[in-house]
Amino acid sequence: MIIENMEITVIKSARKTVAIQIKPDGKIYVRAPFDMTDSEVRDFVSEKTDWIKKTLRKFEDLEKRGGNNIPLTQQQLNELKQKAFVYIEPKLKKYAALLGVEPAKLTVRNQKTCWGSCSKNGNISINCFVMLMPEEVIEYIIVHELCHLKEMNHSKKFWLEVEKIIPHYKNIRKWLKENGSQIMMKNVRQ
């Protein structure tokens, strides 16, 4: 299927929801239920066109910086950390207010194995490489860590807190599992 000069592969399966998956190489997949018509898929993709283009641009920027095999220089890494802090801090405040929690401190790091963490003291740490991801993924990571201020585990109560703010968090987690490690592996300095 081609929509606005974008080649999109539609994969139908026994699922209940529709989701868009964009790979770092620019391939776009729409995963849809069997009973969803081509017209409905087109409408769904049309609604998400801006998000798709924005995500594709992020991957193109990553590619231009040598994201395939060359990690960022120390200067680029420092700039990314600074950009991440400026971007994340207001979102952290916004979602903390919605959840009724108060994080002690925000730190932006270059982490090798995780996208975020929350200490028992209420310190939130976010990986600077989240800036190479779609906005909804960044917001999910922020909300995830803030929810640990209510539940320091991954219990059912924890996921209910996440779901209150991000009802479609399961789709985002799936995207993160399928794409996150590629982003991290391409950029983490050894």
Residue-by-residue pLDDT tens, the chain, 190 positions: 777 778 889 999 998 888 888 876 778 889 899 999 999 999 999 998 888 888 787 777 666 554 444 566 788 888 889 999 999 999 999 999 999 999 999 999 987 778 999 999 999 999 998 988 888 999 999 999 999 999 999 999 999 999 999 999 999 998 888 788 777 766 654 4
Report the SS3 class of residue 33.
Answer: strand
Alpha-carbon distance of 153 to 73, in angstroms, equals 35
Residue 68: per-residue pLDDT? 46
Structural domain boundaries of the chain? 2-64, 74-187
Q: Does the pTM exceed 0.75? A: no
Alpha-carbon distance of 84 to 132, in angstroms, equals 10
Contact 105, 88 (CB under 8 A): no
Tokens describing residue 58: 């992020």
The answer to whether domain 74-187 has CATH 2.60.40.1180 is no
Contact 189, 77 (CB under 8 A): yes
Half-sphere exposure of 25 (CA within 13 A, CB side): 3
Contact 30, 175 (CB under 8 A): no
Alpha-carbon distance of 85 to 50, in angstroms, equals 24
Tokens describing residue 33: 């239920």
Report the SS3 class of residue 86.
Answer: helix
Alpha-carbon distance of 88 to 81, in angstroms, equals 10
Within the chain, residue ranges assigned H as helices are 38-47, 49-64, 74-99, 135-147, 156-165, 169-187
Burial 39-78 (b: 16+ CB within 10 A, else e): eebeeebeebeeebeebeebbeebeebebeeebbeeeebe
Tokens describing residue 85: 């802090």
Residue 71: per-residue pLDDT? 62
Beta bridge partners, 6, equal: 3
